[in-house]
């Protein structure tokens, strides 16, 4: 069963990781995906932990075309930074026991992309 609350320290770490992802998305003009990150950060601000966890595991982050993880970044340096941040997020989701089904396979895909680039 998934957790319903996060500690202050966990929220700070999620904020740090999500800010890193958001900065890349904003700089590269992926505004729709940036909005997903912004919405997650707003949920953290409002202490809406259950909704945050649900949305963090949701289709806007990890679904198909248009999801945050599906962004195609042309510049290799930016792509590697982005992939590393997503892997860091997945690892922290696992550490904090909020990782949803199917996301570990995305981590494997991201890791294999990183090895190719």
- Stated pTM of the model: 0.95
d(CA 91, CA 33): 20
Total residue length of the chain: 117
pLDDT tens readout for residues 62-93 = 998 899 999 999 999 999 999 999 999 999 99
Q: Which residues contact 114 (CB under 8 A, 6 or more apart)?
A: 80, 83, 84, 87
Mean pLDDT of 8-24: 98
pLDDT value at residue 115: 80
The mean pLDDT of the chain is: 95
pLDDT value at residue 117: 63
Higher pLDDT: 53 or 1? It is 53
């Amino acid at each position: 069963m998934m957790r319903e609350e996060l500690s202050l320290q966990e929220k700070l770490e999620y904020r740090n990781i999500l800010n890193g992802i958001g900065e890349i998305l904003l700089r590269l003009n992926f505004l729709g995906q940036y909005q997903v990150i912004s919405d997650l950060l707003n949920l953290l601000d409002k202490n809406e932990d259950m909704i945050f966890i649900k949305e963090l595991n949701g289709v806007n982050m990890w679904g198909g075309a248009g999801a945050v993880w599906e962004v195609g970044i042309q510049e290799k340096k930016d792509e590697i930074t982005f992939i590393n941040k997503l892997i860091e997020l997945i690892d922290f989701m696992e550490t904090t026991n909020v990782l949803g089904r199917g996301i570990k396979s995305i981590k494997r895909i991201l890791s294999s992309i990183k090895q190719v680039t």
